[in-house]
Structure 1
Amino acid sequence: MPITPRFKIKQTDTKLEIIIHLPHIRVSASTLDMLVDGYDFHFHSSPYLLYLSFPGRMVDDAETLREAKATYDPSNQNGVLTVSIFKEDEGYWKDLDLLGNLVNNGSSGDFPSQTIPREKIQVMDSSETPSEGNDVKNHEDNRTCFTDDIQACLKPYYGFLNMHHSVFTAYAREGLSFEMLEIPNPDEMPEDKRRETRLSVEYEKFDGDRYLGDLFLSSDPNDEEADMIFIEAMRMETHWSDSTSVGDLISDMERLKTEDVDPGENLNQDFFSDDERLQMVDNKAQIPPMDTITQEQSESLYLSLIDILYAYVYDHRTTMGDATCESSWTIVMLSPTLSWFESYTPPYDTIRSVFQWSIRRAMIYPYLRNYAFVGETLVTDVCKILDGGKRVIIRSLLQIQKILEGSEFHYLFNKLYINEYISWIQKVEEGDLKKFVSKVKSEVKNPFDKSCFGLDLDSLEEEAFSIPEGDEEDESSSDESSSDGDDSSENSEEEDSREKHDQSTFVDRSSTNLLDDNIGRGNILLVDQSSEAKGLATKSQKQEKKQSLIVELE
């Protein structure tokens, strides 16, 4: 099977430059096949095959000195072929860095084609005359096909634009739906029952204690009790942190330019890495022509894109951009589109309601359930990705695709959703995307009320942080007793101070310190403060004004 080589495209107003990476092969004029045919460019050099369709016509005409040329440099990355082709009309072609739009895989596209439509081919005559037996057989076959078509119409549909059905019963291995989905029996559950069942399951799985435990997580790295995953997630610098879109940068550059060139082209050409370009080229998706997708279908696709991106930014932050073996589970479980095949129906479903479903699941399933993180930070992240334009969105989807592709259980989501989303977002009009982004910003500028999630968060917090009536009475009584205690303590302190003062005037006298002639007598001995130093006690001191203690000696 031929291999699509890595390549990238540069352009001026008159020429295209297709740079093809052909490592470790022998290249010569006899082994290279190259054809420029109007909008199409064909290249073949075993084992590589490249077929590109451009938005404008190209020429390869030696007579007018506009001949296509190719040069091969074996010293550059082990082999690079550079093909230069003239444009028929001068000017810049947009979005040549979105290689998925250029790769022609034989499906219908948005570019002009010389293929004769099937409806234009008519059978004028046929010599084949069917027999009577064949008529009966064909009639039975038609009845069987008709019955199958009716049964297929009654089956639940899911996936991108609801293009798939019976995948888990007809194609996937047994038990895969249980491993990769939360929805039970996806090929049997009607679409109108999915949301009701999902909300019921979510409510049963909600853990109020976990929610309250994460409500006031510390973001201080010096706090020994802080959750380091939360701290790193909050201060992480993401690839969408600089939310200035390519379109805004181009507008700023156009105001400064001095030459008649498109400043956005060079900026776009270096946005994606080589691996991302190859991933776009290898992306296999079958989507209908853009002009056949209705406005309602487009709005539904945008809404599902929101919850997919929301799940992605949660995982990206909590893993510091380095996906783990749990990343595919996290992305699938946080996205209602992926885990329950949720299909949004505008205008009944709004941008705000989609965010509500995503935030709700983020407070039920993953590790971090801090409301400020899932209800504010992640919402801002999604807005920044959308505001960054097609390329930031595509980069995010490519990372999701890579994560799911490496999962043992969740790889099928790429075929159901992500591959098509990568192809579709490359084809959407920039103006339509900007209008949608403007609506998103308008919808989420006000914070979400916790009552909208249907989890009784307000009553849960009120019950957890309020003081019961009995405790209030005990607390008030304890306050009164503490105030009384304060008064009594003040009085006791005064008494203690007096006692200490009195004790300071009393000389502790043992029997050895007493005069021998006073021992055994019953008279009262008065001790004068002035006698403290002398250690004497006499009867003449009865008349002193300052008396401190009366000691009765028996």
Structure 2
Amino acid sequence: MITPRFSCTQTEAEVIVKMYCPSVRASDVEINIEETLFSVHVNPYFLRLNFPRSLKGDEDASASYDAGSGYLTVILSKETPGQEFKDLDLLAKLLAPRPSAEPPQQPVIEVLSSEDAAAGDEQDAGEELAQRTQQLTLEQQEILRAAENDWQLPQEIPEPLPQLKTTPGYRYGFLDMYSGYFRHVAHTENEINELGADAETCPSSERRKLRLNHEDEKWDEEHYMADYVEDEYIQELLYWLNPHTVSGEDFHYSEEENMTMLRLPRKEYLATPQQTHSLYLTLATLLFSYAYDCRTTQHDPTPESAWTLSVLTPAFTALDPAPYTPSSSNSSGFSAEEILVTLAASYRRALAFPLYRSWALAEACRADVAALLGKGKRVVARCLLEMKHILDHHEVYYLYSKIWVDDFCTWTLAHASDETLGGLAVAVKSLKMEKKIIGWHLEELEASAQEAIEREPDSDDESEDEIERMLPAPM
């Protein structure tokens, strides 16, 4: 079946779904409505949408087909006229499967009467205890006697059992849903893969060690100091404004973006609160990479943009997503410590790998991340769609779009909360990044570079002194 290109609008009492279905028979249209779920089938097209509120039944719906334009228009009646159906422009959210029903409640114990049983409770208690004691093993009886004598028995917390593994490989990607994408990595020119041929079998703890070691190896003090001293072009990049951070309230996805959303995976993500918390942190690292490429290209991607986006993202290069420190127990909030450690990973990569390695540039990218998050999931999804477009057109790095960006686009559109994104934006914006957390003695290098600049004599003064020496002495 083919998913047609479609759009949704609404009035006070109706929802209008307009689909592009050229060369079909209008008599073959089948419409089905079940509360919030709407589906339409006309060979070879099939569309199923899950709306946020209930609709009236099939008998209240109507459809019309324009053979000239190829558009099928279906008008659905709202169950409660006047209700607003939000997010009708988020096509991926409408296409997402209906969330699973809540698990059944545990049976509730109801006490019918406590008076009748109270009299015999004390009498039966001794007999029941004696019967249970006879059934205990010798070791259990010794423990019970020790407890009666108030002996101080040693108590130890058993260590958790290791996770049962049935295969030698480890999963990775969005919610650890993927494997097998790096089986033939030795035969491809993947310059950003820091795990080598062991990408499929490397555990998460080892991935992080390899990533940190590789960052330390690529760190170049001279390159950093050179960009610190000669920063004319970097200063130009700092004053550039990302158009997505200054755009107005009137937001509409383009036709190309809508077509891309139709091709996104349609999955149901059963993420735990802790996993969801980690996804928001990983999203911040993706947006940092996006912000860096946007600034250095001024939102005009180059052939190197796919490499830049990939090499700056720890979840791509070493399959090492956030969190990089134990997360707070409150899944709805973000502590300063975990934001600091999360962005420190992006800062390290921005100072070790790309062409422009500047702390001020990294700080500008962090400000962009905060601004993009503050714009909400629509703008964040647009940034992710742009990342997907760049990666999809690269012959090697497209796989990171498959295992990360595609699912992030769907999850952001269908499940991300604007309120949570706003809270993350505030945490990122108010964060005070410290250079010492990077671990490369940046402050000392900058002080040395500044001293060297101050020691350099003024070239103009040198020229004047040389001219004076060349002139003849006065008579």
Question: Contact (CA 8 Å) 1:39, 1:112: kept in 2 or not?
Answer: no
> Between Structure 1 and Structure 2, how many residues are aligned?
395
Aligned ranges for residues 82-93 of structure 1 at < 5 Å? 82-90=73-81, 91-93=83-85
How large is the RMSD of aligned CA atoms in angstroms?
3.4
Answer yes or no: is the 8 Å Cα contact 1:55–1:111 preserved in 2.
no
SS of residue paired to 2:64: strand
Deviation at 1:20, TM superposition (A): 1.2
Q: Give the letter aligned to residue 246 of structure 2.
A: D
Partner of 1:361: 349
Where does residue 40 of structure 2 map in the other structure? 43
Mapped to 1, the partners of 2:300 and 2:168 lie a distance apart of: 42
Once the two structures are TM-superposed, the CA of residue 441 in structure 1 deviates from its matched residue by 2.5
The residue that corresponds to 1:293 in the other structure is 272
When the two structures are superposed, what TM-score results if normalisation uses the length of structure 1? 0.64
CA distance in structure 2 between the aligned counterparts of 1:35 and 1:287, rounded to whole angstroms? 22
1:338-358 Cα shifts (integer Å, max 9, x gaps): 111113233386111222221
Tell me, in whole angstroms, the C-alpha distance in 1 between the residues paired with 2:17 and 2:343.
Answer: 42
C-alpha contact 2:287 2:369 (8 A) present in aligned 1: yes
Shift of residue 287, structure 1, vs aligned partner: 4.3
The alpha carbon displacement at 1:205 in A equals 1.2
Matches within 5 A, 1:123-522: 150-152=164-166, 155-169=169-183, 174-176=186-188, 178-179=190-191, 181-184=193-196, 185-217=198-230, 219=232, 227=233, 230=234, 233-242=237-246, 271-289=252-270, 292-294=271-273, 296-345=274-323, 346-347=326-327, 350-373=338-361, 375-426=362-413, 427-443=415-431, 446=432, 448-466=433-451
With the length of structure 2 as denominator, give the TM-score of the two structures.
Answer: 0.74
Residue 217 of structure 1 deviates from its aligned partner by 4.3
**Separation of aligned partners in 2, 1:73 and 1:365:** 55
**Taking structure 1 as reference, are residues 237 and 466 closer, same or farther at Cα in structure 2, changes over 3 Å only?**
closer
Cα drift, residue 243 of structure 1: 6.7
Aligned residues of 1:38 and 1:57 also touching (Cα < 8 A): yes
Q: Which residue of 1 aligns with 2:99?
A: 110
The aligned residue for residue 71 of structure 1 is 64
Cα offsets for 1:343-395 (capped at 9, x unmatched): 3233386111222221221111112223322x221111111110000101000
Q: Secondary structure at the match of 1:367?
A: coil
Deviations 1:205-228 (CA, angstroms, capped at 9, x unpaired):
112222122114455xxxxxxx4x
2:371–2:425: 8 Å Cα contact kept in structure 1? no
Unaligned runs of 5+ in 1: 118-148, 220-226, 247-266, 475-481, 487-491, 498-554
In 1, distance between residues paired with 2:387 and 2:219? 26
In the alignment, residue 94 of structure 2 is paired with which amino acid?
Answer: L
In 2, Cα distance between the equivalents of 1:70 and 1:376?
54
| Percentage of pairs with the same residue | 31
On the 8 A contact 1:313/1:381 being kept in 2, the answer is yes
TM-aligned CA distance change 1:199 to 1:111, over 3 Å: closer
Ranges in structure 2 where 5+ consecutive residues have no aligned partner: 105-162, 329-336, 458-464
Query: Higher relative contact order at CA 8 Å, sep ≥6: structure 1 or structure 2?
Result: 2
- Residues 442 and 462 (structure 1), Cα distance of their counterparts in 2 relative to 1, 3 Å cut: closer
Aligned AA (1:433): L
Q: Secondary structure at the match of 1:341?
A: coil
Paired with 1:277 and 1:420, the residues of 2 have a C-alpha distance of: 16
Alpha-carbon spacing, 1:94–1:152, altered in 2? closer, same or farther (3 Å) = farther
Match of 2:91 among 81, 99, 119: 99
Query: If you compute each CA radius of gyration, which structure gives the higher value, 1 or 2?
Result: 1
1: CA distance, partners of 2:254 / 2:170: 39
- In structure 2, the CA distance between the partners of 1:41 and 1:285, relative to structure 1 (3 Å rule), is closer
1:29 has 2:17 as partner:
no
**Cα distance between partner residues in 2 of 1:465 and 1:70:** 72
3-state SS of the aligned residue for 2:170? coil
C-alpha displacement at 1:15, in angstroms? 0.6
Give the secondary structure class of the aligned counterpart of 2:32. strand
